[in-house]
Amino acid sequence: MSKFLTEKYQKLKPYTPGEQPKERAYIKLNTNESPFPPSPQAIERARAEADKLMLYPDPECKELAGLLAEKCGVSNDCVILTNGSDEVLNFAFMAYCDGNTPAVFADITYGFYKVFAELNGVPYREIPLKEDFSLCVDEYIQADGTVFIANPNAPTGLALPRTEIERLLKANPNRVVVVDEAYVDFGGESCIPLTEKYGNLLVVQTFSKSRSMAGARLGFGVGSPALIEDLTRVRYSTNPYNVNKMTMAAGLGALSDEKYFQENCKTIIENRAWTERELEKIGFTLTRSKTNFIFAKHERLGGEELYLKLKEKGVLVRHFSAPRIAEYNRITVGSKKEMEILIERIKSILEETK
Ligand code: PMP
């Protein structure tokens, strides 16, 4: 840290992204990326855009916003496109939280919420999940602040039904509720259909997981035209060209290839079910994941021990050392082959540590 850093950032604890090691070829099951490449249409359209990189991208993202709005069943002024969904989440912290309106979220959820709150200097309150990691909506009903709910949640994988979110929206008409649906395509229920009815709902999604575009950085928010106008005001005050030309083109290609998207989601769900069965056979307890990852703990091996031993054997999973979840690992669902290797390596670790 230099002596020049302003005081407000000196205490900031930045988000720790999952490892992206280069020294060795790991089977990467630690950052919830897709094992499949982007749609061929996305690749082709992004390539074609490379020739035009001397020009700025369209700051309104008109064509992509139009297609996305059509897919979501909302009008064009109900969507905003961002540099990954992290960016729209940050915009929501900037727009809807301050000293009078704290951020409210679960104690075990996406770690970036706390960082965004701290970055923006806004107070936050963490509401503990229940013992089984489920989220009790009643505890958010009197929440005196802007609510952030990852649904399905990370790293637990658990999902709330849309009716539960609707109960919260009805009871909190004067507070914004942000529903982060990064993993919704793997078995969750999207709240996008509620955005027309509830002017306090912002739904956030990403192309990073189910559309295999984590490297392109494309996310979006869906909400009432008034909410989108707020977020656009913040966007134009930070970086109007937040979505680059190649990403925009790739997004159009990905959205045009519905079949590829559906098939990949189906394969991940099948691979998840297979891996869950195999893990249960060898002594793991799992949450009922509706995502592209599995949250698992072993009856004998500690969470960190398993993480380290798997790393030695060339398989990277994600371990969090926070108290209630330290015995768990979050394992991204990859290809069938990757899942077979994972199970085989875990079996050999169990054998070696008998
Ligand atoms: N929300 C949740 C719950 C996540 O796990 C992630 C991925 N780390 C994100 C949002 C952000 O994803 P991206 O910025 O790649 O869209």
What distance in Å separates the CA atoms of residue 52 and residue 72, rounded to the nearest whole number?
Answer: 29
Which atom of ligand 1 is found nearest the CA of 86?
Answer: 14
Spatial contact of 248 and 162, defined as CB atoms under 8 Å apart: no
Measured in Å, residue 352 CA sits from the centre of ligand 1 at 36
Measured in Å, residue 313 CA sits from the centre of ligand 1 at 27
Span 35-75, pLDDT tens digits:
999 999 999 999 999 999 999 999 999 999 999 999 999 99
Residues forming beta bridges with residue 223, ordered by sequence position: 202
Measured in Å, residue 44 CA sits from the centre of ligand 1 at 25
Residue 172: other Cβ atoms inside 10 A: 21
User: Is the per-residue pLDDT at 130 higher than 90?
Assistant: yes
**Cis peptide preceding 155, ω within 30 of 0:** yes
- 89: nearest Cα among 22, 188, 182: 182
The percent of residues in the chain predicted with pLDDT above 90, rounded, is 95
What distance in Å separates the CA atoms of residue 321 and residue 318, rounded to the nearest whole number?
Answer: 10
Q: Give the Å distances, CA to CA, from 152 to 33, 181, 202, 210, 290.
A: 16, 7, 15, 13, 6
Ligand 1 binding pocket mutation candidate from 110, 114, 204, 320 (most atoms within 8 A of CB):
110
| Predicted TM-score (pTM) of this structure | 0.97
Measured in Å, residue 285 CA sits from the centre of ligand 1 at 25
Per the structure block, which two tokens stand in for 226?
């008034």
Lowest mean pLDDT among 1-15, 102-116, 226-240: 1-15
Span 24-46, pLDDT tens digits:
889 999 999 999 999 999 999 99
pLDDT given for residue 16 in this prediction: 87
* CA end-to-end span of the chain: 46
pLDDT given for residue 17 in this prediction: 87
Ligand 1 binding pocket mutation candidate from 208, 242, 292, 320 (most atoms within 8 A of CB):
208
The percent of residues in the chain predicted with pLDDT above 70, rounded, is 100
Spatial contact of 271 and 307, defined as CB atoms under 8 Å apart: no
Which atom of ligand 1 is found nearest the CA of 83?
Answer: 14
Measured in Å, residue 110 CA sits from the centre of ligand 1 at 8
Residues forming beta bridges with residue 80, ordered by sequence position: 221
What distance in Å separates the CA atoms of residue 1 and residue 72, rounded to the nearest whole number?
Answer: 44
Query: Within the chain, where are the H helices?
Result: 7-10, 40-49, 62-72, 84-96, 112-119, 138-141, 162-171, 225-236, 245-256, 258-281, 303-312, 336-352
For ligand 1, residues with CB inside 6 Å are 84-86, 110, 150, 154, 180, 182, 206, 208, 214, 219
Phi-psi region of 328 (alpha: psi -120 to 50; beta: other; left: phi over 0): beta
**The residue count for the chain:** 354
- 158: nearest Cα among 325, 336, 342: 325
Ligand 1 binding pocket mutation candidate from 93, 206, 217, 218 (most atoms within 8 A of CB):
206
Residue with the nearest Cα to atom 12 of ligand 1?
85
Over residues 290-310, the mean pLDDT reads 97
- 248: nearest Cα among 66, 72, 35: 66
User: Is the per-residue pLDDT at 143 higher than 90?
Assistant: no
Sheet containing 219-223: order of strands = 79-82, 219-223, 201-206, 177-180, 146-150, 103-106, 124-127
Ligand 1 binding pocket mutation candidate from 85, 291, 320 (most atoms within 8 A of CB):
85
Which atom of ligand 1 is found nearest the CA of 87?
Answer: 14
Measured in Å, residue 23 CA sits from the centre of ligand 1 at 25
Spatial contact of 138 and 167, defined as CB atoms under 8 Å apart: no
pLDDT given for residue 22 in this prediction: 83
Over residues 109-117, the mean pLDDT reads 97
